[in-house]
Amino acid sequence: MKKRGRGMACMWYPIGFTVAANPSAATVKVNTDGTATLLTGTVETGQGALTVLGQIAAETLGLATDDVHVVSGDTDVTPMDTGAIASRTTYVTGNAIVRAAEKAREILFESTAPLLNVKPDQLEARDKQIQVLGFPSKSISIADAVQHSESIVGNPAIGSATYNPPTVEMDPETGQGKPFNTYVYATQIADIEVDDETGEVEILKIVAVHDCGTPINPMLVEGQIQGGISMGVGFALQEEILFEEGRQINPNLTNYIMPTSLDMPELDVGLVDNYDPTGPFGAKGAGEPTAVPTAAAIMNAIHDAVGVRITTLPATAERVLGAIMEKQELEQAAG
Amino acid sequence: MRTLDYIAPESAAAAVALLAEHGEKACPLAGGTDLVVDLKHSPGNIHVLVDVSGLEEFRGIEETDEGLRIGSMVTYAEIMENSICLEKVPEVVAASHTVGAVQTRNLGTIGGNLVTCVPSADSAPALMVLDAEVTVTGADGERRMPIEEFFVGPRKTILEPHELLVDILIPKKNLGKPSSFYKFGLRKGQALALVNVAAALELKSGKIHEPRIALGAVAPTPIRILEAEALLAGKKPSIKNIEEAARIAVTESKPIDDFRASASYRRQLIQTLTQRVLSRSLEIATAS
Amino acid sequence: MLVELKVNGEPKSADVPPETTLLKMLREYLNLTGAKLGCDVGDCGTCTVIVNGVSVNSCLMLAARANGHEVTTIEGLANSNELHPLQEKFEEHGALQCGFCGPGMLISAKNLLDKNPDPTVFEVRDALSGNLCRCTGYTKIIEAVIDAGRVMNTEQANS
Amino acid sequence: MATRNKDIQQKTEELITVEESKAPAQQPLAIPTDNPVAYPLELPQGEARLRTPAVGQRARRPDGRLHGLGQTQYIDDITFPHMLHAKILRSKYPHARIVSIDTSEAEKMPGVMATLTGAEIPENSFGPTYQDQPVLAYPIARHCGDGVAAVAATSEQLATEALEKIKVEYEPLPAVFDPLEALEKDSPKVHGGDTNIYTSKVIKKGDVEKALKESEHVFHRQFRTQMVEHVPLEPHASIASWDGNGRVTLWTSLGRITLGREDLSRTLKMPQSKIRLIGTVVGGNFGGKNEITTEPVLALLSKKSRRPVKLVFTRGDEFISSTIRHPFVMDYTTGVNNDGKILARKIRLVLDGGSYCSWTGTTIGKGSILAPGPYDIENVLVEAFAVYTNKTTTGAMRGFGAPQVCFAYESQMDDIAHKLGLDPLEIRLRNGFSENSLSPTSQTLQSVALKESLAQAAERFGWKENQA
């Protein structure tokens, strides 16, 4: 018979390396037509990082996403970056980009302030214009500003900067310290059915609500969450590399069972409204944490459905049925 | 992949002649979804592929006076889309649907699946409970036999190296016979069967008539559970009977113990799923 | 042996060893690298192409078997003026992340919509179950396929 | 111009003919003779990319268009004239001393252009924390995924056949596979010495033993997790090519090229200025492509053969020789009061580190710090150990230990709620972090949104409405 169950799990997750330095550098160049080029040493590994980094550069310069071209992944061309790891790209590389773009922007402020008869700190870059704070009708287009700065003033709008999250060494005896600069939080809830005669678990739905600070691009954050959950589902129910005397016995996609489209449930994804003042425009990160609470939520739902606690992953149908039968035997023994 | 010769003969007779000529070195190629994988990864002495997938003699689905004939080179996708199959042998369609994924079903053929003869061949149990027969052609002419006799051992059929499977015939009296198929795999998409189970039966005056139970992936070949069928035949359906039949299915099976599942778990599945397909077949029989 | 195909509407041929798979022929002899090699045994679906109207894993099909057939690869979905509705919708939904499963996924989706332009979510899941994706959880892919089906229906109704 | 191109093409073809006569098994070189692919050039990519402010927009990713057109170039889509294909022979045993390697038979095969063994690598070690991993194992192989020798040949098939001709004499050594057995005193030692523990971590706050004694309920359970593979759809791939200035360029699926260049500089003993890494679009990473794998091997094979050399992992290589997720054995003891308030959590983690350290440092760090869960707990003790075993190397994978400990701490939270008759949501809200909570390392936490995520998830799910 099929038994319905629901389970929740929450989690916290840090951004960047544990104490260790993990800097990023960035260079932003604003072109004379008001477009810009961003150089980053990170690599696009599918998350949409380059799109997000372009959005961060654009935002700092008051440009639209499409105005910024992102150049990445060439050690001859692009600056140092610790890389696409540890959910650090939006936060660490993003912070470096904000700082680099601010330097380029500062050049524009300084060059154009005299034209607008204000001081540089009275200016902002917005809607593709350099404009006076509180008086936006007094403005100059970014294209004109760059043109002026480069051709008249002789100061091209280029900025380079680095960022490394500040941490505090952990005490070797007690581990006390500040290993990360910031963390994200999340909750996932699973709605499942367990067939109590075969042990098969069917996931009907997973609700996932994640905090990533400001979502720079909500569509891409959703994609990270949905993908992370599929990894969590595999971790929970199916996936395991098996060994015999140190040799893998299922090193192929026939026998290493990862979720197909038929194995994934409906997903309902939400984002918490949050802002981290230490991140670029309040952003933190979204890559890894999405895969963290899924298995726990599913195990709690199994417990809710059939009253057994799975203590070893993955919760294959065989393992779940074994636990159900063990429980029945204990109950019978207890009379 | 090793060096191969590829020949696409014009007729079944030409294919048989080629196979006879090359002997053990030759192998017929159907959908290739299993064979090409084997050729890539395992050493062997096959060097000539005789492509029989396009041969007219092995194609087509049609209802004849004898029953429903399915050509051996009919793909799973073709079975799933065929209106006669959908109406007359829905559980063969259901079993076809559980094979691999769309791409596999578009290439893979029902005959190829039977000839490869892995214990977990998904279509076999669904065909066996309908008393399907197979026709074989070879250098010595044609012969026909019940499908059970076709399977000899794991990856071994009755076929001589020069022989080919022509078609599968489901007898007329069993078209539309209440039946049920269930495949249990480790996931929903592209699953390999831990257990395949099928049942078919009729109700006559409230008693079970001509019950059939077949299982796949639980023994060296797909098997019928004759003792359980005998137990049910002529009996009124009851939970007790069904449970007993399933118990016999467990005893008659010889499931393996491997990394996919333990033998004892497979036995539990056999018990549960045999009961389920029998109950489901009874429901259909009662409703019709 | 000489294998002649009609690929994306154009006649193509190559002299290939008989053991050459269709995937190898497309990638190495015809320079069509859209279809990918992900597992080489028909599990992952990154090599999916359409042969004579049905989708197949081109890593499991010998090129010789496709001789004389029509083959559609990912390179044949768009034309010089517009994207296929699936390509448009995959892009709009951000359906692909690393993109490696994309060519196969889009071909499987096309194979579905060509036969069933108004699929249910389950039908889409079933149609894509031979295409593994590790990035997306399939969610946005499924949304994009259903959305593209709608566009194709509207286009058909308007034409 | 057209004539010039034609000349070049003809010359290239002549070269190929020469090569083919030497090496009959070579693949015909792909020379584009036509442009069969049609696609639009100037279609816009949607309004969201054009709007300001840029942040918060559901902007389309420009690579999405190329993915959909099949135009994204992954490593395996790139070819160069005269490019060779490499394959790597892997250890026959999970733990063995390599007595000798004889590549001479392989080298005699027509079309085999270079071979390589560990002894030929200038600095045969790498790793992000400890440089304990050889590029090619020599003289000890520590798991079956260890490369032992490599071959570059004119085709993949030929390279694979050449591997079979390499004779390796092994002296099998005792091996250990279970992390708890590896902790035992008399277990075989994967890297010699007197212990398999290669890194450990302690997080200590308050007085756990005292608080556990004072708790009204104490819960204990052991949890275990399994080895998991990243399964990027694109297997690891690289191409290496040298130019006449002695510079080597690597096209690589590596997700961190700056540090990758440092690793290459170290293993090849070459200045970084002579090394260029180009990271193409990576077809899935998830942590598994954050470490060099075959790049130094390809650089050296390319140097020896003076040709570009490509290597794409088979799916099998991907499983056995790339890194995978650490299995954890986790003992959780938690003391709570009748009202569900957690007073103390004592945790012991044993990480199955596989054969080499790789990213275990980060995994044990994050795993330990996160292990108590996102809860206000005054008394915490986490002791974590990573041990070597003769299995696949465990490294970075999405979450660095967090999915493992979350499975344990959240399972136990529900055990506690169940026993005390509390709603799972309620016990989490009662103990969960708030703004300015102190973490297990006594860090003041900011921008904490745990309870907001709990509340919103419960609402979306209908948690309260659907009480059983």
Q: Which residues of C touch A45 (CB under 8 A)?
A: 98
Question: Is residue D245 within 8 Å of residue A8, measured between CB atoms?
Answer: no
Question: For residue B119, what pLDDT is reported?
Answer: 86
In 3D space, the residue among B80, D74, B190, B111 whose CA is nearest the CA of residue C42 turns out to be B190
Q: In whole angstroms, give the CA distance from residue A323 to residue A330.
A: 11
Question: For residue D23, what pLDDT is reported?
Answer: 42
Asked whether the beta carbons of residue D287 and residue A85 sit closer than 8 angstroms, the reply is yes
- Collapsed DSSP state (helix, strand, coil) of residue A140: strand
Question: For residue D36, what pLDDT is reported?
Answer: 60
Contacts of A286 (CB under 8 A, 6+ apart): A87, A90, A184, A210, A212, A215, A220, A221, A224, A225
Look over chain C and give the mean of its residue pLDDT values, rounded to a whole number.
Answer: 96
pLDDT over threshold 60, residue D16: no
Q: For chain D, which domains are there?
A: 179-229+324-461 (3.30.365.10)
pLDDT over threshold 80, residue D106: yes
Q: What is the mean pLDDT of residues C145-155?
A: 94
pLDDT over threshold 90, residue B177: yes
Q: Which residues of C touch D28 (CB under 8 A)?
A: 28-29
Q: Which residue of C has its CA nearest to D65?
A: C91
Question: For residue B86, what pLDDT is reported?
Answer: 98
Q: In what order do the strands lie in the sheet with B141-146?
A: B61-63, B67-71, B164-171, B133-138, B141-146
Question: For residue D33, what pLDDT is reported?
Answer: 52
CATH topology of domain C85-158: DNA polymerase; domain 1 (1.10.150)
Asked whether the beta carbons of residue A48 and residue C131 sit closer than 8 angstroms, the reply is no
Question: For residue D468, what pLDDT is reported?
Answer: 55
pLDDT over threshold 60, residue D20: no
Domain with CATH 3.30.465.10 in chain B: 56-174
- Per-residue pLDDT tens for C76-119? 999 999 999 999 999 999 999 999 999 999 999 999 999 999 99
- Per-residue pLDDT tens for D440-459? 999 999 999 999 999 999 99
Domain with CATH 3.30.390.50 in chain B: 179-287
Contact of A241 with chain B, judged by CB distance below 8 Å, is answered with: no
Asked whether the beta carbons of residue C139 and residue A261 sit closer than 8 angstroms, the reply is no
Q: For chain A, which domains are there?
A: 2-14+183-333 (3.30.365.10), 24-162 (3.30.365.10)
Q: What is the mean pLDDT of residues D361-367?
A: 96
- Per-residue pLDDT tens for D187-206? 999 999 999 999 999 999 99
Question: For residue B16, what pLDDT is reported?
Answer: 96
Question: For residue D17, what pLDDT is reported?
Answer: 42
The ipTM is 0.97
Asked whether the beta carbons of residue B32 and residue C125 sit closer than 8 angstroms, the reply is no
Angle between helices C85-93 and C139-158 (to 10 degrees): 140
pLDDT over threshold 90, residue C159: no
Reported confidence tier of residue A167, pLDDT bands at 50, 70, 90: very high
Question: For residue C157, what pLDDT is reported?
Answer: 85
Q: In whole angstroms, give the CA distance from residue D264 to residue D192.
A: 26
Q: What percent of chain B has pLDDT over 70?
A: 100
Q: What is the mean pLDDT of residues A238-263?
A: 97
Compute CA D146 distance to the chain's CA centroid, rounded to the nearest angstrom. 15
pLDDT over threshold 80, residue D1: no
Q: What is the mean pLDDT of residues D372-380?
A: 98
CATH code of the domain occupying B5-51 = 3.30.43.10
- How do D342-352 and A135-141 pair as beta strands? unpaired
Residue ranges of A 147-166 with Cβ closer than 8 A to chain B: none
The tokens of C138 are what?
Answer: 């399939």
pLDDT over threshold 50, residue D3: no
The tokens of A188 are what?
Answer: 């996932």
- Per-residue pLDDT tens for A194-215? 999 999 999 999 999 999 999 9
- Per-residue pLDDT tens for A16-62? 999 999 999 999 999 999 999 999 999 999 999 999 999 999 999 99
Q: Which residues of A touch C40 (CB under 8 A)?
A: none
Residue ranges of D 7-36 with Cβ closer than 8 A to chain A: none
Question: For residue D34, what pLDDT is reported?
Answer: 56
pLDDT over threshold 70, residue D335: yes
Q: Which residues of A touch B272 (CB under 8 A)?
A: 197-198
Contact of D66 with chain A, judged by CB distance below 8 Å, is answered with: no
pLDDT over threshold 50, residue D314: yes
Question: For residue B130, what pLDDT is reported?
Answer: 98
Asked whether the beta carbons of residue D457 and residue A207 sit closer than 8 angstroms, the reply is yes
Reported confidence tier of residue B233, pLDDT bands at 50, 70, 90: very high
pLDDT over threshold 60, residue D2: no
Q: In whole angstroms, give the CA distance from residue A212 to residue A271.
A: 8
> Domain-by-domain residue ranges, chain C?
2-76, 85-158
Reported confidence tier of residue D111, pLDDT bands at 50, 70, 90: very high
- Per-residue pLDDT tens for B218-230? 999 999 999 999 9
Reported confidence tier of residue D15, pLDDT bands at 50, 70, 90: very low
Reported confidence tier of residue B45, pLDDT bands at 50, 70, 90: confident
Assign domain B56-174 one CATH number from 3.30.1490.20, 3.30.465.10, 3.40.50.720, 3.40.50.300: 3.30.465.10
In 3D space, the residue among A315, A299, A294 whose CA is nearest the CA of residue A238 turns out to be A315
Q: Which chains touch D (3 or more CB pairs under 8 A)?
A: A, C
Q: In whole angstroms, give the CA distance from residue D301 to residue A157.
A: 44
Domain with CATH 3.30.43.10 in chain B: 5-51
φ, ψ for residue A100, nearest 5 deg = -65, -45
Look over chain A and give the mean of its residue pLDDT values, rounded to a whole number.
Answer: 97
Q: Which residues of C touch D281 (CB under 8 A)?
A: 98-99
Of the candidates A288, A318, A326, A331, the residue annotated as catalytic is: A288
Helices vs. strands in chain C: H and E counts, helices first:
5, 5
Q: In whole angstroms, give the CA distance from residue A189 to residue D458.
A: 8
pLDDT over threshold 80, residue A242: yes
Asked whether the beta carbons of residue A264 and residue C125 sit closer than 8 angstroms, the reply is yes
Per this entry, what is the length of chain C?
159
CATH code of the domain occupying C2-76 = 3.10.20.30
* Buried-exposed string D125-141: b where 16+ CB fall within 10 A, e elsewhere: bbbbebbbbbbbbbebb
Q: Which residue out of B188, B262, B279 would a mutagenesis test of the A interface target, given it has the greatest number of A Cβ atoms within 10 Å?
A: B188
CATH code of the domain occupying B179-287 = 3.30.390.50
pLDDT over threshold 50, residue A85: yes
Q: In whole angstroms, give the CA distance from residue D27 to residue D20.
A: 9
Point out which residues pair with D386 in neighbouring strands: D199, D351
Reported confidence tier of residue A335, pLDDT bands at 50, 70, 90: confident
Tokens 């005269």 belong to D82
Nearest chain B Cα distance for residue A1, angstroms: 10
Q: What percent of chain D has pLDDT over 70?
A: 92
Contact of D78 with chain A, judged by CB distance below 8 Å, is answered with: no
Q: CA triplet A239, A241, A247: central angle to 5 degrees?
A: 165
Q: Which residues of A touch C59 (CB under 8 A)?
A: none
More confident residue, D368 or D32: D368
Question: For residue D18, what pLDDT is reported?
Answer: 40
Question: Is position A197 annotated as part of the catalytic site?
Answer: no
Question: For residue B49, what pLDDT is reported?
Answer: 95
Q: What is the mean pLDDT of residues D37-61?
A: 94
Q: What percent of chain B has pLDDT over 90?
A: 92
Give DSSP secondary structure letters for D374-412.
Answer: SB--SEEEEEEEEE--SSSPB---TTTTHHHHHHHHHHH
Question: For residue C158, what pLDDT is reported?
Answer: 83
Q: What is the mean pLDDT of residues D264-293?
A: 96
Contacts of A162 (CB under 8 A, 6+ apart): A23, A24, A25, A26, A80, A96, A99
User: Which residues from C are below 8 Å from B when comparing CB atoms?
Assistant: 1, 17-19, 21, 40-43, 45, 48, 54-57, 59-62, 64-65, 67, 108, 111-112, 125-127, 129-131
- Per-residue pLDDT tens for B130-144? 999 999 999 999 999
More confident residue, B117 or D19: B117
Nearest chain B Cα distance for residue A203, angstroms: 11
- Per-residue pLDDT tens for D52-65? 999 999 999 999 99
pLDDT over threshold 80, residue B42: no
Asked whether the beta carbons of residue A311 and residue D221 sit closer than 8 angstroms, the reply is yes
pLDDT over threshold 80, residue A235: yes
